[in-house]
Amino acid sequence: MSKIKAAIVGASGYTGAELVRLLVRHPEVEIAVMTADRKAGQSMGEVFPHLAGLGLPDLVSLDAVDYSDINVVFCGLPHGTTQEVISAMPQHVKIIDLSADFRLADVETYAEWYGHAHQAPDLQTDAVYGITELARDAVKGARLVANPGCYPTSAQLPLVPLLKAGQVSPEDIIIDAKSGVSGAGRGPKEGTLFTEVSEAVHAYGVANHRHAPEIEQGLSGAVGKAVIVNFTPHLMPMNRGILSSIYVKTEGGATADDLRATLETAYGNEAFVRVVPEGVSPATRHVRGSNHCLIGVFDDRVKGRAIILSVIDNLVKGASGQAIQNMNVMCGLEETMGLEQEPLFP
């Protein structure tokens, strides 16, 4: 049986590099095409020296891609650029879009938060929002999967099962999240310069971060009514990783033990989502380089409240790893294929 031929559109960013790092060891995938308009003609080793010597094709411009032999496309272009690009792709290719362009089901909500009209509203109706563990059946039959954002992945994985179980209130959910700098992308920005980030922590997108409606969309779906969350992200002086500290009201007298038991039931057979034992506080270093999500649960000192800690690698489970996980499901492969590596520690 021939290998799946994959194209990586937008391969010169951090998520593109992670896709290459993971896919070169995938036994059923061949990286056939990689695009990067500003670096077209260069080898991947020139752009990312750690990926030299792997026999990869040189980078090409987007308009030079021939999709006739391509089976799967990973689209890693910036937000706001992929709708028209994906609309022009032939029907036979399966697509995993790592941008935010197809994550919000309501095109008016998209326009409100992203500042421009949706350019492919008809295609939006076909897109499946793909947190794999929560949407596996829908992902299986999808042609286009909207790969979730990093913060929304870390928040929804613990919250959705607990909301569905009625153990936490959909009211007054506080998500205090911290991310490594790679989440801001590879392009030069003043806010991600070394002297701006080093020895400092700062909040950004306060009360208006674009991942808020994405989180709310998933939580609202879990309870069948509108949910509004208090979400504040922070930039940390580290390369990769996300820690979401989530503060919730419990329902029906539920304790941390009850919440932990529900999560263990929900994810007991999952390869990548793990609930840590009582009293253990998961850290970003415990998931670095892996497709894992670790979840810890604590009783708050405030009666009737609990604290949930969720950690992922923003470039893997928060982006490229989950994209490959979704591809595996879409193509009928073993879901863990190419993602078996344990975290890099210390």
User: How confident is the model over 283-294, as pLDDT tens digits?
Assistant: 999 999 999 999
Q: Is the pLDDT assigned to residue 1 strictly greater than 80?
A: no
User: How confident is the model over 132-189, as pLDDT tens digits?
Assistant: 999 999 999 999 999 999 999 999 999 999 999 999 999 999 999 999 999 988 888 8
Let me know if residue 132 belongs to a domain.
no
The angle that helices 321-330 and 132-140 make with each other, rounded to 10 degrees, is 30
Our answer to whether residue 150 is catalytic in this structure is yes
User: How confident is the model over 18-77, as pLDDT tens digits?
Assistant: 999 999 999 999 999 999 999 999 999 999 999 999 999 999 999 999 999 999 999 999
| Residues linked to residue 245 through DSSP beta bridges, in sequence order | 176, 309
- Do residues 277 and 212 both lie within one domain? yes
Let me know if residue 251 belongs to a domain.
yes
In the set 75, 150, 293, 331, the catalytic residue is 150
Let me know if residue 168 belongs to a domain.
yes
181 to each of 18, 50, 114, 160, 295, how far by Cα in Å? 15, 19, 21, 27, 22
CATH number where 88 lies: 3.40.50.720
- Do residues 111 and 32 both lie within one domain? yes
Q: How far is CA 12 from the centre of its chain?
A: 18
CB contact burial 61-90 (16+ within 10 A = b; e otherwise): ebeebebeebbbbbbbbeeeebbebbeebe
- Do residues 190 and 312 both lie within one domain? yes
- Do residues 96 and 169 both lie within one domain? no
- Do residues 187 and 251 both lie within one domain? yes
Let me know if residue 321 belongs to a domain.
no
**Whole-number pLDDT of residue 346:** 87
- Do residues 212 and 246 both lie within one domain? yes
**Whole-number pLDDT of residue 197:** 92
- Do residues 94 and 166 both lie within one domain? no
Contacts of 52 (CB under 8 A, 6+ apart): 43, 44, 45, 46
Q: Which of 59, 14, 12, 9 is nearest to 320 (CA)?
A: 14
For residues 136 and 78, the model is more confident at 136
**What's the structural domain count of the chain?**
2
Q: Which residue range is the domain that position 262 belongs to?
A: 151-316
- Do residues 8 and 99 both lie within one domain? yes
- Do residues 80 and 182 both lie within one domain? no
- Across the chain, mean pLDDT equals 97
